[in-house]
Structure 1
Amino acid sequence: MFKRFTERARRVIILAREEAELYRHEYLGTEHILQGIIKDGGGIAIAIVQKSGVDMTQLKKELEKNLPRSSNSLIIGDIPFTSRAKKVLEFAVEEARSLNHNYIGTEHLLLGLLKEKEGVACRVLNSFGMFFDDVREKIIDMFKEPTESNRE
């Protein structure tokens, strides 16, 4: 599943898992993927969020306010993805394909979060004025701009 993911996108998923463990959640949800993107702090997804005028500190606070309560159970072993988080990954793959990218990067994860309209991450991003069509357009524009490396 993750073989076409960039190193940074893989790191985001690892950080998402760590966030789920930290909050003692028995699942990995869309909110954890967004936390992973924020915690990583780099890549095209972060550049797009900042280009959208979103204050990262405020985004992080709002996301934390929307997190479900921690469970008291100790998590041992694998933490399963929620059906919404799985959908985000599927949407990320679809978006990479539709943009003719042969990899899945943080920008595709961000698009996946926005395309999956029911999750905590999408609701929080929408509250900051970030919507799928606008973000997709910003990503397309970013790839038109000459840079050292648009692939992270």
Structure 2
Amino acid sequence: MFERFTEDAREVVVEAQRIGRERGERAIDEEHLLLALLVIGQPLGGALLTTGGLTAAAVRERMDRSDEQLLATLGVDVEVVRARMVRTFGEAAVRRLGRHRRGGHIPFTSAAKTLLERSLREALARKDRHIGPEHIVLAMFRRGGRVAADLREAGITRSQVEVEVDRVRRAA
């Protein structure tokens, strides 16, 4: 499928990988692809999103909410859990458990894979021969979930994106 990706769409995938490595992530999710679109800011990808007011800083901020904060809302004290783990398994085992992959390819989550597969469907539905960043954006709406909710929250609709894609293509 990746052979059908345009250079710009491949750049989005590579940027998502870079962001994941930089953040020490174990997997690339849809949010990494959204952030990559915003960071790169191509006219038929990220620029469509920024017109609705969505920013890379806002997406990064949400992604930066630590697991510790999320667990605290459930009443879980991470330091207490960590101390128990150290007592049970030892410090070295806990350090190995927390180690993140720093280099190489980071796998995509099933949700991110589905998003990229749906971008192919978006291209086929528009009778396009290649998959571009705009198809990834359109697929985000079809996929639903957190990313689609973020887009809607920023006031971005699928129909707005479709209109803008058509406008940019006519102008080119």
Q: Which runs of 4+ in 1 moved over 3 A?
A: 68-72
**Residue pair 2:25, 2:100 contacting (<8 A) in 1 also:** no
**Residue pair 1:62, 1:124 contacting (<8 A) in 2 also:** no
> Out of 46, 51, 54, which is 2:52 matched to?
54
| Bigger helix fraction | 2
Partner of 1:125 in structure 2? 151
TM-score, with length taken from structure 2: 0.72
TM-score, with length taken from structure 1: 0.81
Q: Give, as a single letter, the amino acid of the residue that structure 2 aligns with 1:10.
A: R
- Kindly, what percent of the aligned residue pairs are identical? 25
Give unpaired runs (5+ residues) of structure 2.
Answer: 68-96
> Out of 53, 59, 64, which is 1:63 matched to?
59
Please, what is the CA RMSD of the aligned residues? Answer: 2.1
Q: How many residues align?
A: 141
State yes or no: 1:142 paired with 2:139: no
Secondary structure of 2:44's counterpart equals helix
Looking at structure 2, the residues matched to 18 and 81 of structure 1 have their Cα atoms a distance apart, in angstroms, of: 13
- Aligned ranges for residues 105-116 of structure 1 at < 5 Å? 105-116=132-143
Secondary structure of 1:3's counterpart equals helix
Give unpaired runs (5+ residues) of structure 1.
Answer: 148-152
Partner of 2:130 in structure 1? 103
Partner of 2:3 in structure 1? 3
> Out of 111, 118, 123, which is 1:91 matched to?
118
